[in-house]
Amino acid sequence: MDIPGLSTLYAILKRNIDRDNDVLRQRKDLALELKTNCHQWSEILVATFREATRRWEADGSAAAIREILELEQDFLRLDYYSLESASPILSFLSEDPAFRPFADACASFYRSALAVKRMARGDLETVTAIRGAEREWRSEVERMLRKVDYEHQRVRTLVPQ
């Protein structure tokens, strides 16, 4: 399985940052781009997990588990574990203490996407269990998105000093 748009959404995290003269504006622009990216990610991830649940109902447990494990493999190709140290955008935002909580919230969001791994390895022997796993995972994604949104609102209001 190849999640549509996954590599494009991941590209922002690896893109190099060229500093311009108005660093505050640049950080705000990048923060908005990153927030939008998190929202796009969440839509794709929730839809993908929903499809695995549908697959379970239509084709049985083996098909759904295979779908979830393929999803996990797609995630493993993306190195989320090194985001804080390897992502130019997160590093650039973290340099400014006012943007650090936002960058941390985004990194936490991306790591929460890996929660699908826990779900795939869990007890998914019934359609009820996979529906519960889907709800739990969606809830985790939404919780992390709320943190991203909250921190983004905070950095949006920053003014030059």
Fold of 6-156: A middle domain of Talin 1 (1.20.1420)
Indicate the domain borders of the chain. Answer: 6-156
pLDDT in tens, the chain (161 residues): 456 666 676 778 888 889 999 999 999 999 999 999 889 888 877 777 777 778 777 887 777 777 767 766 766 666 555 555 678 999 999 999 999 999 999 988 887 766 555 555 555 566 676 677 778 778 888 888 999 999 999 999 999 88
* Alpha-carbon distances, residue 161 vs 67, 76, 79 (angstroms): 51, 41, 36
Within 10 angstroms of residue 104's Cβ, the number of other Cβ atoms is: 17
Mind listing the pLDDT tens digit for each residue in 26-47?
Answer: 999 999 999 998 898 888 777 7
What's this model's pTM, rounded to 2 decimal places? 0.80
